[in-house]
């Protein structure tokens, strides 16, 4: 599971991105002037002094971003607000989904009966796609939209005219002017095909388990919140260490999914795709991942964004142990308010009935 961290645009996939070529910015070549000797500089200063002119000041040194934790207040508020809205929206989404399911039950029964009575058409591409879609689990259907969004953003990285926008909004950097929305958008952003393929494969592999555990609504709230929370942890780490640079990738959110499944089912057997003969328990895999990212964070490894990985994993562990009880099981007051709001109006009678 990878999340990009540039050190001068060093990506998690392990190659250096040259910003001049990739982003379409070309710097004017500087003319190399021969260095002046001490005597020549002194003579030039004396001539300027006689003319009443002051010598040209030295060029300003490039500004290094200061370690200002005050800049993290806005991202912190965004993280808390977005997490609350994600779970609140998921609770309302689940209510509407259940309500729609009940109302359309008899329509589905009638549609199935008519389908049996109609003559079967010959197999076509549309029918094959429909059969493939119906063969997917609920979890796989849910993450298909996430994978499609990541693929779309990946294609946008290939459009030269969009490079400035992509760097500004689809990479997260605590020293950037745009701080909040990149925390979410960078979760769907990959520059390397291998980087995206690895992340999406892990997400696809764990999708059925996590959606069966939580349902698609709670899963989506957890995934989106995890992307923002892991990015905020990365902000804090970069600001504390003074190592500023852009990051991108879905691995912070995927680490939350992986950690949640491993915490819920620690005895489940896992294997590496290239080494299927070697199996290990999910609990041991989680311990190894947390230990690796903790070591990388302490030693200052910069190939991966270890802070984002660690933040995502710890959030997944916390949510399974405490967060589900504190957040999701206390959604009933919000759902009741929404139910009253939806049923209030002409003809409803104000009795709160569906």
Annotated active-site positions, please? 251, 309
Q: For residues 186 and 172, is the Cβ–Cβ distance under 8 A?
A: yes
In this structure, the strands spanning 4-5 and 269-272 are: unpaired
Distance CA 240, CA 69 (A): 8
CA angle 142, 146, 147 (to 5 degrees): 110
Could you give the C-alpha distances from 33 to 36, 62, 84, in angstroms and in order? 9, 21, 59
CA atoms within 13 A of residue 288's CA, in its CB half-sphere: 8
Residues 330 and 83: their CA atoms lie apart, in Å, by: 15
* Rounded distance between C-alpha atoms, residue 53 and residue 48, angstroms: 5
Q: Distance between alpha carbon 331 and the CA centroid of its chain, in Å? A: 25
Distance, first Cα to last Cα, the chain: 45
Q: Are 156 and 162 in contact (CB under 8 A)?
A: yes
Instruction: Look at the block and give the residue holding tokens 């967060």.
Output: 323
Cα separation, 79 vs 81, whole angstroms: 6
> 200: closest CA among 147, 253, 272, 262?
147
Decide: helix, strand or coil at residue 258. helix
DSSP state of 153: H
> What tokens were used for 214?
């939580």
- Interatomic CA distance for residues 253 and 315, integer angstroms: 9
């Amino acid at each position: 599971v990878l999340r990009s961290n540039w050190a001068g645009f060093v990506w998690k996939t392990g190659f250096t991105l040259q910003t001049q070529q990739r982003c379409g910015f070309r710097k004017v070549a500087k003319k190399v002037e021969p260095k002046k000797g001490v005597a020549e500089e002194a003579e030039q200063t004396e001539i300027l002094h006689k003319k009443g002119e002051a010598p040209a000041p030295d060029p300003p040194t490039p500004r290094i971003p200061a370690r200002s934790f005050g800049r993290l207040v806005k991202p912190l508020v965004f993280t808390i607000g977005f997490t609350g809205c994600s779970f609140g929206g998921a609770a309302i989404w689940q209510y509407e989904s259940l309500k729609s399911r009940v109302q359309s039950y008899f329509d589905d029964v009638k549609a199935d009966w008519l389908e049996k009575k109609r003559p079967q058409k010959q197999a076509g591409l549309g029918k094959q796609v429909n059969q493939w879609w119906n063969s997917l689990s609920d979890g796989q259907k849910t993450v298909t939209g996430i994978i499609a969004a990541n693929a779309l953003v990946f294609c946008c990285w290939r459009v030269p005219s969009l490079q400035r926008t992509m760097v500004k909004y689809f990479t997260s950097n605590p020293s950037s002017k745009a701080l909040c929305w990149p925390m979410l958008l960078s979760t769907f952003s990959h520059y390397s095909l291998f980087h995206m393929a690895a992340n999406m494969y892990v997400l696809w592999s764990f999708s059925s388990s996590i959606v069966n555990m939580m349902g698609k609504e709670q899963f989506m709230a957890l995934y989106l919140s995890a992307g923002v929370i892991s990015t905020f942890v990365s902000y804090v780490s970069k600001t504390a260490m003074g190592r500023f640079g852009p990051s991108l990738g879905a691995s912070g959110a995927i680490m939350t999914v992986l950690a949640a499944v491993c915490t819920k089912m620690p005895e489940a057997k896992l294997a590496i795709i290239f080494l299927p003969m070697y199996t290990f328990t999910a609990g041991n895999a989680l311990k190894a991942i947390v230990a690796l990212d903790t070591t990388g964070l302490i030693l200052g490894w910069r190939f991966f964004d270890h802070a984002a990985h660690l933040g995502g994993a710890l959030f997944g562990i916390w949510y399974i142990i405490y967060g589900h009880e504190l957040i999701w099981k206390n959604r009933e007051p919000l759902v009741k308010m929404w139910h009253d709001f939806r049923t209030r109006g002409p003809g409803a009678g104000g009795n709160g009935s569906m």
